[in-house]
Amino acid sequence: MSKEIIVAVETTRAAVVTGGSRGIGRAVARRLAADGLAVAVGYTSREDAAASAVAEIRAAGGAAVAVRADVAEEEQVAALFDTAEREFGGVDVVVNAAGRMVLAPVAELDLDALDALHRTNIRGAFVVSQQGARRVRTGGTIVNFSTSVLGLSTPGYGAYAASKGAVEALTLILARELRGRDVTVNTVAPGPTATDLFLDGKDDRTIAALAALSPQDRLGTPEDIAAVVAFLAGPDGRWVNGQVLRANGAVV
């Protein structure tokens, strides 16, 4: 009598990371790859940086692919998810690290700049979350990004903070809408973090003052933030759902 032999096939976990070519997004892509996930690196314009991020991950033994996608464009984001599903078999983690920052007092902000900011930060977060809600496999997670400026209420950040407030509002609602799916939805809100975008245009005195806001007397690093995302995406973060994690070194 023949015996049926059953062979267990390990499924590769995969992540989509928008804004994955630079800064926090790149650190997140690198960290998730180090944790064993295949990564689809989404980017908007810096093809060279995205290719470099993919090369880094592959050189360390991971799997990655770069895909150009404007987060506010539904068809492009859908194509990004299509690529992840085709290359890696599915999507388990979605991290939307793409964002835009425009600083000016409310009374002086150009409204065209406001529209561009909201297009990326609000519509983009919604589009990526929508695709994630439709496609993430059971046991997966969706992570968006806000900012600890919401707590600081720093002058000049009105438009940026308002756009990220919308992202925070979306978080708990989407978590509750995904009831029964075992999919978590959270938002990470970094404080001052030493990325090229953050440091651009700031003198040493300003940077030192921002570092001094934390009792740890330093700025955050992209790797600090990536570690928080990795926790949310991993097995130890399953009971954290619908939350805003302020990863800011006690700045607020």
pLDDT per residue over 205-252, tens digit each?
A: 999 999 999 999 999 999 999 999 999 999 999 999 999 999 999 986
User: What is the sign, positive or negative, of the torsion defined by CA atoms of 216, 218, 220, 223?
Assistant: negative
- Residue 12: the pLDDT is 87
pLDDT value, residue 172: 96
Q: 150 near 166, Cβ under 8 Å? A: no
Residue 186 · residue 241 · CB < 8 Å: yes
Q: Which two tokens stand for residue 122?
A: 């609000």
DSSP string, 145-199: E--THHHH--TT-HHHHHHHHHHHHHHHHHHHHTTTS--EEEEE---SB--HHHH
* Closest CA relative to residue 190, chosen from 230, 150, 243: 150
pLDDT at 199: 83
Contact assessment for residue 18 and residue 78, using Cβ atoms and an 8 Å cutoff: no
pTM over the 0.85 mark: yes
> Whose structure tokens read 């999919």?
183
pLDDT digits (tens), the chain, 252 positions: 445 444 334 568 999 999 999 999 999 999 999 999 999 999 998 999 999 999 999 999 999 999 999 999 999 999 999 999 999 999 999 999 999 999 999 999 999 999 999 999 999 999 999 999 999 999 999 999 999 999 889 999 999 999 999 999 999 999 999 999 999 999 999 999 999 878 887 889 999 999 999 999 999 999 999 999 999 999 999 999 999 999 999 986
Sign, CA torsion 75/81/83/85: negative
The answer regarding whether domain 14-245 maps to CATH 3.40.1280.10 reads: no
Residues annotated as catalytic are: 160
